[in-house]
Amino acid sequence: MGKTTVLRRTAERLSDWKLAGFYTLEIRREGRRQGFRAVTFDDREWVIAHVSFTGSPRVGKYGVDVAAIDDLADHALVESSEIELFIVDEVGKMECLSEVFVHRMRRLLDTGQLLIATVAEHGPGLIAEMKRREDSALWAVTFENRDALPKQAGSWLRSGRRTG
C-alpha cells in the first residue's frame, strides 16, 4: 500500500529534526521477495527475516532473526532527550517476536517520546495496545491518500499536536 514510502517521505520533510528509528525494505531476487531488512536513520542495517533462515520462529514463509530485531531495537529505539521523533516501520508480527522490541516500544510510548509508526492491521499484544491508546492518532494508509500523507503528517508533527 505504500506505508514505508509514507514514512520515508515524512522523514524527508523533517530532515531538520533529530530522528531515530528505522524503516524496512524488501530483499528481492529475480523479482521475488526473499526477506526484509531494517535500516536505521544512521544507516545501519539488519536482515530481520529471510526465506533462507531455517528453524523457528517463522512468519509465513520467512524465518525471523529475533536476535537481529533485539539488536536493532537496542540501537534504534533508545529514548533520548536529543531525539525529536522516532520513526518505526513497522510494528508487526515479526518485530513483536522480540521481547526487546516490544519493551522498547512500550517504553517510548509510556515516556511520551514523539513517535510515528506503521502498525499491522491485525494482531494481539503491542499491535492491539497501540491502536487502543487514547494519546495516539491512527491514520489508515490507502491508495487514495498515500501521496498526501507525508505532507499531512509532517505538518501535523510540526504543529506540535500529539493526539489527533
Ordered structural domains, the chain, with CATH: 3-158 (3.40.50.300)
H/E stretch holding 46 reads strand 45-50
Q: Is 20 helix (H, G, I), strand (E, B) or coil?
A: strand
Q: Which of 89, 50, 95 is nearest to 70 (CA)?
A: 95
pLDDT of amino acid 135: 87
Bridge partners for 88 per DSSP: 22, 117
Other beta carbons within 10 Å of 116? 23
All three cell numbers of 106, joined, read: 512500550
pLDDT at 136 over 60: yes
Amino acid at site 61: K
Q: What is the pLDDT of residues 39-86, one digit of tens each?
A: 999 999 999 999 999 988 999 999 999 999 999 999 999 999 999 999
Of 139, 149, 127, which is closest to residue 5 (Cα–Cα)? Answer: 149
More confident residue, 162 or 58: 58
Nearest to 77 by CA among 99, 53, 58: 99
| 137 vs 31, higher pLDDT | 31
Residue pLDDT, tens place only, 12-38: 999 999 999 999 999 999 999 999 999
CA pair distance 3, 1, nearest whole angstrom: 6
Average pLDDT, the chain: 93
Q: Are 101 and 92 in contact (CB under 8 A)?
A: no
